[in-house]
Amino acid sequence: MEALKFVILACILSITASTDIEISQKDIDRIYEGYKKYYQEDPPGNSTKRFLEIKQEFTNVVTDSTILRTFTPTAAEEALLKSTYFANIGSARQDTTDYSSLSGIYATEEGRAIYYYSLNPPTNYAVEFPNPDVYEIRIRLNPCINRDSDLCCDATNEGACEDNTVFESGEDMAVSWFTNGYIFRCSDIFEKQNECGTYLEIHRPRDAKVLEYIKIDKLYRSGFSTEFISTKQLCAGRYELWFVIRSRNGRILQHVKPFYSIEPSCTDAQIAEAATPL
């Protein structure tokens, strides 16, 4: 029954991706009836009564505060982040700041980036970082560098996946991703425009310009899924991989994975372009 509850919640999350987190009773009723019809009979257990209880639970608890991540850094943590990470996020140099005094999400580079964009949304992007207790997104970069197969992480758990975020660009970067939520997809008409669906995008920090992107077409599966994205246009410097929902209502940033390219050196044109983020 807990699995069924999660499936229903995943569908509710898919609605929020295109409705600005406005969950109505009509939405919940529609999801409930759809899944009841899907099963064609009452789920196992105390059937209809329990299913109605689950429906009521979602009516009561699915709100902005339960779906979206909240950030509560201490005053000291916030001061350190703003004086170091926030101040230097636009630099091409690798961040070597000592963040060992930070805890929780702020102790990770992903967490620091997510917190930054929660306060400073990129141009033309909405920002909705999901609550990991409800909807989790994990990303590992080049997870099989020291393995025999480039797909060593595919369909496995996190223990089998390395995370190599510093490397030489030029070849395709392996991206292993996992989500326990719904992969947003679109109808045929909008799908062909590359402006609707779930995407992985490469950006410079603070820059809304998309350098490279790939579309995720795989539905939910057990374990990580592996995609490959080109890094041929990247020169040395800091970059970020964004997990983005594109819909008719715009683009929604849901996760950020920073990485660093050590080679090749940038041309004058690339340096000038990096100095003027959108």
* Nearest by Cα to 109 from 139, 132, 153: 139
Give the pairing of strands 212-216 and 250-261.
Answer: unpaired
> Does 25 lie in the same domain as 111?
no
Look-up of token digits 């509710």: 12
Domain count, the chain: 2
Determine phi and psi for 138, rounding to 5 degrees. -125, 140
Q: What is the CATH number of the domain that holds 239?
A: 2.60.40.2550
> Does 79 lie in the same domain as 59?
no
The answer to whether the CB of 245 falls within 8 A of the CB of 184 is yes
For 182-241, write each residue's pLDDT tens digit. Answer: 787 776 666 667 778 899 999 999 999 999 999 998 766 678 999 999 999 999 999 999
> Does 92 lie in the same domain as 62?
no
pLDDT band at 3 (very low <50, low <70, confident <90, very high): very low
pLDDT band at 4 (very low <50, low <70, confident <90, very high): very low
**pTM for the full model?**
0.77
Look-up of token digits 């603070």: 206
Q: Alpha-carbon distance 239 to 204, whole Å? A: 5
Burial label for 266, CB within 10 Å (0-12, 13-18, 19+), is middle
Flag whether pLDDT at 28 surpasses 50: yes
* Residue span of the structural domain in which 113 resides: 75-274
pLDDT of residue 34: 59
For 157-189, write each residue's pLDDT tens digit. Answer: 888 899 999 999 999 999 999 998 778 777 666
> Does 231 lie in the same domain as 176?
yes
> Does 195 lie in the same domain as 99?
yes
